[in-house]
Structure 1
Amino acid sequence: MNTNSFSNSYKEAGVDVTAGYKAVELMKQHVARTMTSGVLSGIGGFGGLFELDMTGITKPVLVSGTDGVGTKLKIAFLMDKHDTVGIDCVAMCVNDIICCGAKPQFFLDYIAVGKNYPEKIAQIVSGVAEGCVQSGCALIGGETAEMPGFYPVDEYDLAGFSVGVVDKDKILDPSTQKAGDVMIAIKSSGVHSNGFSLVRKVFSVDEKTLSVHYDELGKTLGETLLTPTKIYVKAVMSLLDSVKVKAISHITGGGFYENIPRSLPSGLSVKIARSDVQVLPIFDVIAKTGNIPERDMFNTFNMGVGMTVVVDKADADKAIEAIKAAGEEAYVLGELVDSDMGVIIC
């Protein structure tokens, strides 16, 4: 740790550079868990160096994704639990990247705080590192910015970005989809990291409401809401090796009606039987408590479906088997039909 760099004047203004050095020291053990063969630099430099392994790739294409955790962080603040939101941050980035068929290679995070509490920063980074381990990518750098007067002393924001690589000839081509193809759902772990502005409004979220135990959830509301976003990299990479995948959608904010059409070509829609959607209990609790119309629920939340994949009907069983073998739950969600409606839930 750098013991020769300090500024009492800067500290009096609210920025403690020595706390930053301590935070880096505390996070190093977590970052070390994410190291892969491509990493050429350690934490603390001005840039993260990564050497791509081009084995088997003839036309490498870089695919990038960036996102944050959003107002789910408010739940972490109220519960004073900071070791899982980093998983959400990684998930929101890498789950987007794999929709192209790309494999994530590395990740960088950005943490902005009102006051640098090194132990809290280390907790946040432990979650980021866990997300990187789950997705098989390296945490090669990041930034912690102490911004007094901009953020409350006990609050922070968390964002990041990831870069992946895919062979140009293997980029998924949604135009190959046709009527009769099957859409498969890969189950989510809960609300993930979207729709929390509505969630907080519905429950008038505070320490008391978060501590309420719901029998249908099997735990408290707070514990349920802080459940980390599923990371689907392992399952999707396994799936891509097993069958021809035509399209993938990451179901985030905007739910079914916004995200699924993003991977459908003009003239095709997906027809979904409402009874086939395996809705998680938390969404029933949200809808009932907030008296939210079902159409709005499906246009805001993932409703228990974290990702969708489209394959030929003949490949559906094999695709589900591959996803389950990788540790995720999957089932047939619907079928593609000739229509311009995008999503038809009936």
Structure 2
Amino acid sequence: MWSNFETIEVHYNCGCFPWPKFYIKNSNASMMKSVRDEANRDDTDRDEVNRNDVTDGLTYKDAGVDIDVGAELVRRVKKIAPGIGGFGGLILNPGGDSYLVVTTDGVGTKLKLAVETGIHDTVAMCVNDIVTSGAKHSLFLDYFATSHLDGDLAEKVIKGIVDGCQQSDCVLLGGETAEMPGFYACREYDVCGFAVDTVEKDSVIDGKNIVVRISSLVFLRVETDFLLLEASNSMSKVLDLVRKGVVKGIAHITGGGFMENIPRIFPEGLGAVIHKDSWVVPPVFNWIQETNNTILPLHFAAETSQAGRIDDAEMRRTFNMGIRMVLVVYKEAADRILGDG
């Protein structure tokens, strides 16, 4: 079926589980549909990274989040500010030999878990984004907003951020605390983070050097199932690979899952095909997929006739399914990385 494409087999790292397989292909838009049709017909364990999958089950949009609207907003903003679109922004320093790398992110609805568990950390989201450009995170700032300032709660949040910075080898340089009566429910808050670092010009990772026949994918699996706020403890391994110069692209898999994040690191004309059954998905995702209405607003849960299972395609478009980060590396390097476990 791949007679019209240059293909290579690629892999990703799932800890102690078998290595899943990928394919990178050199294609154009007119060929993509025939590939999807043939893949769906002949190989049910393989799923193309495709933003246009249609689902009849519960969706992220049903829960109140429309990924398509978000993607359209990014496209609109890129017309106004063409430099955006990556996981972190790059600004050339005056000397011309390095870039300033800046990223910002929020914890999102995981703040509900933060309130319940007492784990108040937003650092991992930002530092994982900034490392995708090849930088090692060194400076961090936070923004904490609430309706009524609770000193004890705010201290716990800041302590969580400080702990996250220590784990990620960066410094909390400052931040902003905003008290806004009426904006948040009692004891609820919002928190965002901003990470800053520099990367040498010849060490920037932007995906431009990803080419057919020399690239492979290495995936890093989520280490825990339910500690969703826990900072990544495998980032040192990623940074080691970055320093060795073998990494050509990095995708941080968060909102939008594989389908929205993996394409961001490929040059135009390249894509990936996922063997979706070649790693063990952590149990939490199976629980989310099969538990009726747990992700829906109450008004929707009471009215919907779609109560129940979330389709596989929608799960992959919404969650990372246990794969936290995707690295594109030379195939020879991939063989060594996989061999090291």
* TM tier relative to shorter chain: 0.5 to 0.7
Report the equivalent of 1:50.
none
- The equivalent of 2:98 in structure 1 is 60
Q: Match of 1:105, as an amino acid? A: S
Mean Cα displacement is larger for which, 165-174 or 312-321? 312-321
Is contact 1:174-1:265 (8 Å) kept?
yes
Which structure 2 residues correspond to residues 1-346 of structure 1 after superposition, within 5 A? Answer: 59-77=97-115, 79=116, 81-82=117-118, 84-86=119-121, 89-180=122-213, 181-189=215-223, 224=226, 226-230=228-232, 233-290=235-292, 291-320=309-338
1:132 Cα deviation (Å)?
A: 0.6
Q: CA deviation at 1:125?
A: 1.0
Cα 1:67–1:232, aligned 2, differ >3 Å: closer, same or farther? farther
> Structure 1 pair 173/72, CA: closer, same or farther in 2 (3 Å)?
closer
Instruction: Report the Cα distance in structure 1 between the residues aligned to 2:320 and 2:313, rounded to whole angstroms.
Output: 12
Structure 2: gaps (5+ residues): 1-92, 293-308
8 Å Cα contact 1:251/1:302 also seen in 2: yes
How far did 1:233 drift? 3.6
CA distance in structure 1 between the partners assigned to 2:338 and 2:167 by the alignment:
20
Q: Percent identity?
A: 42
Distance 1:321 1:137 in 2: 30
1:189-222 per-residue CA deviation (whole Å, 9 max, x = no partner) reads 45xxxxxxxxxxxxxxxxxxxxxxxxxx7xxxxx
Q: CA deviation at 1:175?
A: 2.3
State the alpha-carbon separation in 2 of the partners of residues 96 and 294 from structure 1. Answer: 26
Matching residue's letter, 1:309: L
Q: CA deviation at 1:152?
A: 2.4
CA distance in 1, matches of 2:173, 2:128: 19
Q: Calculate the aligned-residue CA RMSD, in Å.
A: 2.2
- CA distance in 2 between counterparts of 1:67 and 1:227 reads 13
**Structure 1 residues 177 and 146: CA distance shift in structure 2, 3 A:** same
Contact map agreement 1:108 1:139 (CA 8 A) in 2: yes
Give unmatched runs, 5+ long, in structure 1.
Answer: 1-53, 191-216, 218-223, 325-346
Distance 2:165 2:269 in 1: 38
Give the AA of the match of 2:316: F
- Would the alpha carbon gap of residues 170 and 225 (structure 1) be closer, same or farther in structure 2, given more than 3 Å must change? closer
Structure 1 residues 295-304 or 147-156, which shifts more?
147-156
Distance 2:254 2:285 in 1: 14
1:293 is displaced (CA, Å) by 0.4
d(CA) in 1 for partners of 2:174, 2:114: 23
Residue 231 to residue 60, structure 1, CA distance change in 2 (3 Å): farther
Partner of 1:48: none
Question: Which of 1 and 2 has higher RCO (CA within 8 Å, sep 6+)?
Answer: 2
Aligned 8 A contact 1:95 1:232 in 2: no
Query: Residue type of the partner of 2:272?
Result: V
| Partner Cα separation in structure 2 for residue 314 and residue 71 of structure 1 | 40
Cα distance in 2, alignment partners of residues 304 and 231 from structure 1: 15
Alignment CA distance shift 1:289-1:256 (3 Å)? same
Return closer, same or farther for 1:71/1:247 CA change in 2, 3 Å cut-off.
same
Q: Give 3-state SS (helix, strand or coil) of 2:208's partner.
A: helix
Offset at 1:237? 1.3
CA distances 1:31-83 after superposition (whole Å, capped 9, x unpaired) = xxxxxxxxxxxxxxxxxxxxxxx9xx981211000011111112333x2x33x
Counterpart Cα distance in 2 of 1:102 and 1:115: 37
* Residue 39 of structure 2: aligned partner: none
**CA–CA separation in structure 1 for the residues paired with 2:246 and 2:131:** 14
Q: CA deviation at 1:243?
A: 4.8
Following TM superposition, by how much is the alpha carbon of 1:319 offset from its aligned partner in structure 2, in angstroms?
2.9
Distance between the aligned counterparts of 1:241 and 1:123, measured in 2?
Answer: 34
Partner Cα distance (1:233, 1:226) in 2: 16
Q: How many residues align structurally?
A: 231
TM superposition shift of 1:226: 4.5
Greater helix fraction, Structure 1 or Structure 2: 1
How far apart, in 1, do the equivalents of 2:169 and 2:339 lie? 22
- Structure 1 distance, partners of 2:244, 2:311, is 39
User: 1:224-243 CA deviation, whole Å, 9 max, x = no partner?
Assistant: 26442526542221112335
